[in-house]
Amino acid sequence: MKRISILFVCMGNICRSPLAEGVFSHLAKEAGHADRFLVDSAGTGSWHQGDEPDRRSIATARHHGMDISGQRARRIRKHDFADFDLIVAMDRDNVAALRALDPQARNIHLFGDLALGSGEDIPDPYYGGADGFEAVYARLLAGCRKLLSMLGDDSASRSGNTSSVR
Protein backbone atom coordinates (compact mmCIF):
# COMPACT_ATOMS: atom_id res chain seq x y z
CA MET A 1 0.00 0.00 0.00
CA LYS A 2 1.35 3.41 -0.99
CA ARG A 3 1.67 5.84 1.87
CA ILE A 4 -0.08 9.16 1.44
CA SER A 5 2.42 11.97 1.86
CA ILE A 6 1.33 15.31 3.29
CA LEU A 7 3.44 18.45 3.63
CA PHE A 8 2.04 21.22 5.82
CA VAL A 9 3.39 24.67 4.93
CA CYS A 10 3.45 28.07 6.62
CA MET A 11 5.79 31.02 6.33
CA GLY A 12 8.67 30.18 8.66
CA ASN A 13 7.91 26.57 9.64
CA ILE A 14 8.03 27.29 13.36
CA CYS A 15 4.41 27.98 14.38
CA ARG A 16 1.50 26.65 12.33
CA SER A 17 2.96 23.98 10.06
CA PRO A 18 4.95 22.11 12.73
CA LEU A 19 1.86 22.14 14.92
CA ALA A 20 -0.23 20.81 12.01
CA GLU A 21 2.38 18.09 11.39
CA GLY A 22 2.26 17.13 15.06
CA VAL A 23 -1.54 17.15 15.27
CA PHE A 24 -2.05 15.09 12.11
CA SER A 25 0.67 12.58 13.05
CA HIS A 26 -0.77 12.22 16.56
CA LEU A 27 -4.31 11.66 15.26
CA ALA A 28 -3.12 9.14 12.66
CA LYS A 29 -1.21 7.24 15.32
CA GLU A 30 -4.20 7.23 17.68
CA ALA A 31 -6.40 5.91 14.87
CA GLY A 32 -3.91 3.14 14.07
CA HIS A 33 -3.12 4.67 10.66
CA ALA A 34 0.38 6.05 11.27
CA ASP A 35 1.87 3.61 8.75
CA ARG A 36 -0.44 4.94 6.02
CA PHE A 37 0.96 8.47 6.08
CA LEU A 38 4.22 10.31 5.62
CA VAL A 39 3.82 13.72 7.26
CA ASP A 40 6.25 16.65 7.21
CA SER A 41 6.23 20.42 7.34
CA ALA A 42 8.13 23.26 5.68
CA GLY A 43 8.17 27.02 5.33
CA THR A 44 8.08 29.30 2.33
CA GLY A 45 10.93 31.31 3.87
CA SER A 46 14.32 30.30 5.16
CA TRP A 47 14.64 32.53 8.24
CA HIS A 48 14.39 29.71 10.76
CA GLN A 49 16.04 26.77 8.94
CA GLY A 50 17.31 24.25 11.46
CA ASP A 51 15.44 25.83 14.38
CA GLU A 52 13.00 23.95 16.57
CA PRO A 53 9.37 25.09 16.54
CA ASP A 54 8.45 28.28 18.39
CA ARG A 55 8.41 27.67 22.15
CA ARG A 56 4.70 28.52 22.21
CA SER A 57 3.90 25.89 19.57
CA ILE A 58 5.91 23.36 21.58
CA ALA A 59 4.05 24.34 24.76
CA THR A 60 0.65 24.16 23.05
CA ALA A 61 1.42 20.74 21.61
CA ARG A 62 2.73 19.52 24.97
CA HIS A 63 -0.41 20.80 26.70
CA HIS A 64 -2.40 18.55 24.35
CA GLY A 65 -0.20 15.48 24.80
CA MET A 66 2.15 15.86 21.82
CA ASP A 67 5.88 16.45 21.60
CA ILE A 68 6.96 18.43 18.53
CA SER A 69 10.26 19.63 19.99
CA GLY A 70 12.25 17.24 17.78
CA GLN A 71 11.08 18.90 14.57
CA ARG A 72 13.40 21.29 12.75
CA ALA A 73 12.36 24.07 10.42
CA ARG A 74 13.18 23.80 6.77
CA ARG A 75 12.34 25.67 3.62
CA ILE A 76 10.28 24.04 0.91
CA ARG A 77 12.40 22.44 -1.81
CA LYS A 78 11.61 22.15 -5.50
CA HIS A 79 11.39 18.35 -5.32
CA ASP A 80 8.76 18.57 -2.55
CA PHE A 81 6.18 19.38 -5.22
CA ALA A 82 6.77 15.97 -6.82
CA ASP A 83 7.49 14.06 -3.61
CA PHE A 84 4.28 14.92 -1.70
CA ASP A 85 0.75 13.92 -2.63
CA LEU A 86 -0.67 16.91 -0.76
CA ILE A 87 0.92 20.25 0.02
CA VAL A 88 -1.36 21.99 2.50
CA ALA A 89 -0.74 25.71 3.06
CA MET A 90 -1.92 27.56 6.14
CA ASP A 91 -2.99 30.76 4.38
CA ARG A 92 -3.47 32.36 0.98
CA ASP A 93 -0.08 34.07 1.07
CA ASN A 94 1.54 30.65 1.51
CA VAL A 95 -0.52 29.28 -1.39
CA ALA A 96 0.62 32.18 -3.60
CA ALA A 97 4.27 31.68 -2.63
CA LEU A 98 4.02 27.95 -3.37
CA ARG A 99 2.36 28.54 -6.74
CA ALA A 100 5.08 31.04 -7.62
CA LEU A 101 7.67 28.33 -6.94
CA ASP A 102 5.83 25.74 -9.05
CA PRO A 103 2.98 27.15 -11.16
CA GLN A 104 2.23 23.68 -12.60
CA ALA A 105 1.75 21.95 -9.22
CA ARG A 106 -1.75 20.55 -8.77
CA ASN A 107 -1.23 19.28 -5.22
CA ILE A 108 -1.23 22.68 -3.45
CA HIS A 109 -4.26 23.26 -1.22
CA LEU A 110 -5.36 25.82 1.33
CA PHE A 111 -5.87 24.11 4.71
CA GLY A 112 -9.13 26.02 5.17
CA ASP A 113 -10.46 24.65 1.88
CA LEU A 114 -9.22 21.07 1.99
CA ALA A 115 -9.42 20.29 5.70
CA LEU A 116 -12.04 22.67 7.05
CA GLY A 117 -14.23 23.32 4.03
CA SER A 118 -14.52 26.94 5.15
CA GLY A 119 -11.94 28.64 2.95
CA GLU A 120 -10.48 30.37 5.98
CA ASP A 121 -6.84 31.20 6.55
CA ILE A 122 -5.17 29.80 9.63
CA PRO A 123 -3.86 33.00 11.24
CA ASP A 124 -0.19 33.34 12.07
CA PRO A 125 0.04 33.47 15.89
CA TYR A 126 3.71 34.53 15.94
CA TYR A 127 3.19 38.11 17.11
CA GLY A 128 0.57 37.26 19.71
CA GLY A 129 0.34 35.33 22.93
CA ALA A 130 -0.44 31.80 24.01
CA ASP A 131 -4.16 32.27 23.33
CA GLY A 132 -3.43 32.70 19.62
CA PHE A 133 -1.54 29.41 19.56
CA GLU A 134 -4.46 27.69 21.30
CA ALA A 135 -6.88 29.13 18.74
CA VAL A 136 -4.64 27.88 15.91
CA TYR A 137 -4.42 24.46 17.59
CA ALA A 138 -8.23 24.25 17.76
CA ARG A 139 -8.59 24.98 14.01
CA LEU A 140 -5.77 22.57 13.14
CA LEU A 141 -7.30 19.85 15.30
CA ALA A 142 -10.71 20.23 13.65
CA GLY A 143 -9.19 20.26 10.17
CA CYS A 144 -6.76 17.41 10.75
CA ARG A 145 -9.59 15.25 12.11
CA LYS A 146 -11.58 15.87 8.93
CA LEU A 147 -8.55 15.34 6.72
CA LEU A 148 -7.67 12.08 8.44
CA SER A 149 -11.25 10.90 8.11
CA MET A 150 -11.30 11.81 4.43
CA LEU A 151 -7.97 10.14 3.67
CA GLY A 152 -8.11 7.30 6.16
CA ASP A 153 -11.60 6.09 5.29
CA ASP A 154 -11.51 6.76 1.57
CA SER A 155 -11.27 3.52 -0.40
CA ALA A 156 -9.24 5.28 -3.10
CA SER A 157 -6.58 6.29 -0.60
CA ARG A 158 -6.37 2.73 0.69
CA SER A 159 -5.48 1.59 -2.80
CA GLY A 160 -2.82 4.28 -3.10
CA ASN A 161 -4.85 6.52 -5.42
CA THR A 162 -5.02 10.01 -3.96
CA SER A 163 -6.27 11.73 -7.12
CA SER A 164 -9.54 12.53 -5.38
CA VAL A 165 -7.74 14.97 -3.08
CA ARG A 166 -5.34 16.53 -5.56
Residues 105-135: tens digit of each pLDDT: 999 999 999 999 999 999 999 999 999 999 9
Residue at 1 is within a domain: no
**Top-confidence residue, 162 or 76:** 76
Query: Which of 80, 91, 121, 124 is labelled catalytic?
Result: 124
Residue 164 has pLDDT above 60, yes or no: no
Does the annotation mark 10 as catalytic? yes
Contact indicator for 6, 86 with CB cutoff of 8 Å: yes
**Residue 116 counted as domain residue:** yes
The predicted structure's pLDDT at residue 152 = 81
Segments forming the whole domain that contains residue 34 = 8-161
> Which entry of 10, 15, 36, 56 is annotated as an active-site residue?
10
Residues facing 131 on adjacent strands: none
pLDDT band at 13 (very low <50, low <70, confident <90, very high): very high
Asked if residue 166 belongs to a domain, the reply is no
Tens of pLDDT, residue by residue over 28-73, are 999 999 999 999 999 999 999 999 999 999 999 999 999 999 999 9
Can you give the CATH number for the domain in which 125 is found?
Answer: 3.40.50.2300
Mean pLDDT, residues 68-96: 98
Question: Is residue 128 domain-resident?
Answer: yes
- 18, with CB counted inside 10 A (0-12, 13-18, 19+), is buried
Query: For residue 163, is pLDDT > 60?
Result: no
What is the spatial distance between Cα 166 and Cα 124, in angstroms, rounded to a whole number? Answer: 25
**pLDDT at position 153:** 64
93: annotated active-site residue: no
Instruction: Answer yes or no: is 3 within a domain.
Output: no
Query: Which pLDDT value is given to residue 166?
Result: 35
Q: How many domains does the chain have?
A: 1
For 130, residues 6+ apart whose C-beta sits below 8 A from its C-beta are 56, 59, 60
- Which one, of 112, 20, 109, 32, lies nearest residue 71 by Cα? 20
pLDDT tens, position by position, 134-153: 999 999 999 999 999 999 86
Distance of CA 143 to the CA centre of its chain: 10
In a domain, 98, yes or no: yes
- To the question of pTM greater than 0.85 for the whole model, the response is yes
Whether 144 is catalytic is no
Residue 47 covered by a domain: yes
Catalytic residue among 16, 36, 56, 139: 16
User: Is the pLDDT score of 165 beyond 90?
Assistant: no
Q: 141 lies in a domain?
A: yes
Q: What does the DSSP assignment read for the chain?
A: -PPEEEEEEESSSSSHHHHHHHHHHHHHHHTT-GGGEEEEEEESS-TTTTPPPPHHHHHHHHHTT---TT----B--TTHHHH-SEEEESSHHHHHHHHHH-TT-S-EEEHHHHTSSS-------TTS-HHHHHHHHHHHHHHHHHHHHHHHH-HHHHTT--GGG-
